Amino acid sequence: MCIYFANVGRFLFDWMSFMKCLLLLIAVLLSGCAAIQQADRSNTERLLAAAGFKVLPANTPERQLSLEATRPYKVERKLKGEEVYYFYACPDQSIAYIGNQTDYSKYRELELQQEIANQNTAASENAVLAAQQWNDWRVWGPSAALPPPRMGHR
């Protein structure tokens, strides 16, 4: 009887340790995802500002309602009469980025330029890694080493 209860206690201890580790792993993964999302938001906000979007604080009840009614962190197309404008809501900062069609076109252009630059950076990093791997003659063994240069002609 005592052995049975001792094993049950050990089993429960191991199960609790496993669950604590699992919860810790989940917390670390979620915090990493949150950091990536925050970096993406900051990047989008920099591009919007560079494209000419105006930053307006939600300092009136009407603006606050408009901010709450819009999907956060997404550029949305809106109509105001005949005029088209674009709206990006940041509820955590209580601000909105607002731009016209020209601003939005410039934003998309900057976004595309950044994507191309990121792809070029990744390609050059891959090329450097590939060159480093091929220049490592040790993987082929000592017989693959280049012979020493000749000093004279014979």
pLDDT at 1: 45
Lowest mean pLDDT, pick from 2-6, 69-73, 106-110, 126-130: 2-6
For residue 60, what are the CA distances in angstroms to 49, 64, 94?
A: 22, 6, 11
The tens digit of pLDDT for each residue in 48-96 reads: 999 999 999 999 999 999 888 889 999 999 998 899 999 999 998 999 9
pLDDT at 127: 75
Residue ranges of domains in the chain: 1-33, 51-132
The HSE-up count of residue 11 (CA atoms within 13 Å, CB side) is 6
* pLDDT level of residue 100 (50, 70, 90 thresholds): very high
pLDDT at 121: 83
More confident residue, 35 or 46: 46
The tens digit of pLDDT for each residue in 2-34 reads: 455 555 555 555 766 777 767 777 766 666 665
pLDDT at 23: 74
Whether the predicted pLDDT of 119 surpasses 50: yes
**Hey, which residues does 98 pair with through a beta bridge?**
54, 87
